[in-house]
Chains A and B, each alone.
Chain A
């Protein structure tokens, strides 16, 4: 069983829809959570970073973390065709001062927003 599970989709929604992307994890050592977006033929880029349970909002994006359930979500409001990409959840433990960039990624969810 993988440490991080993410439904690969694909997910297709109409423009303007609210999108919900989710990941579950099994390793209770994970304390810091990220969402990366990857456009076709590009490298991933960081969208959201959070470390506490609850919601964090940034524009049309809201990241939600529930550590008790080991479940994280990313919501996209008023989705646009330009949001079409693969969304990867990522997480790490405390790192102990060694490497905060040693991330465990989900498989990624392919999202298409059609006009």
Chain B
């Protein structure tokens, strides 16, 4: 158990809908990262928050947004969902900025868009 908690574990929704994925980092970790894992693209970096502020952004779609709250949990909002958004969404955390490359990943939220 990495100590990173993600909810929900599974989510099935329809095209055009909006969903929110939630992540609680390990106790004491200030950084939260979101990654998307799909069969064709592999594991791709979406966004990084550090202590409430956006630190880096990857190829995150404009339909997607994220935030980190004062209690350090984070939410990833996905809107106007398309079939291609079906994927496993991972949250990861690290104590600081992950100088050693060590990210602690949750078990993921599997999103299916029908």
Known: A44-B105, A45-B105, A101-B97. A106 touches B55 (CB 8 A): no
How far, in angstroms, from A90 to B46 measured CA to CA in the complex? 15
Whether A34 is near chain B, meaning CB under 8 Å from some CB there, is yes
**How many A-B pairs with Cβ below 8 Å?**
72
Whether B45 is near chain A, meaning CB under 8 Å from some CB there, is yes
Is A101 touching B107 in the complex (CB atoms < 8 A)? no
Is A43 touching B105 in the complex (CB atoms < 8 A)? yes
Q: Closest residue of chain B to A43, judged by CB?
A: B105
The residue from A34, A49, A88, A101 contacting B94, defined by CB atoms under 8 A apart: A101
Is A99 touching B56 in the complex (CB atoms < 8 A)? yes
Whether B11 is near chain A, meaning CB under 8 Å from some CB there, is no
The residue from A45, A95, A105 contacting B42, defined by CB atoms under 8 A apart: A105
Is A98 touching B107 in the complex (CB atoms < 8 A)? no
Known: A101-B33, A105-B42. A46 touches B103 (CB 8 A): yes
How far, in angstroms, from A100 to B45 measured CA to CA in the complex? 12
Query: Nearest Cβ distance between residue A107 and chain B, in whole angstroms?
Result: 4
Interface membership of chain B positions 20-50, coded 1 if the CB is closer than 8 angstroms to chain A and 0 otherwise: 0000000000010100000000111100101
| A44-B105, A101-B31 given; 17 more Cβ-contact pairs under 8 Å | A42-B107, A45-B105, A46-B102, A98-B55, A98-B56, A99-B50, A101-B45, A101-B56, A101-B92, A101-B94, A102-B33, A102-B45, A102-B56, A102-B58, A103-B45, A107-B42, A108-B43
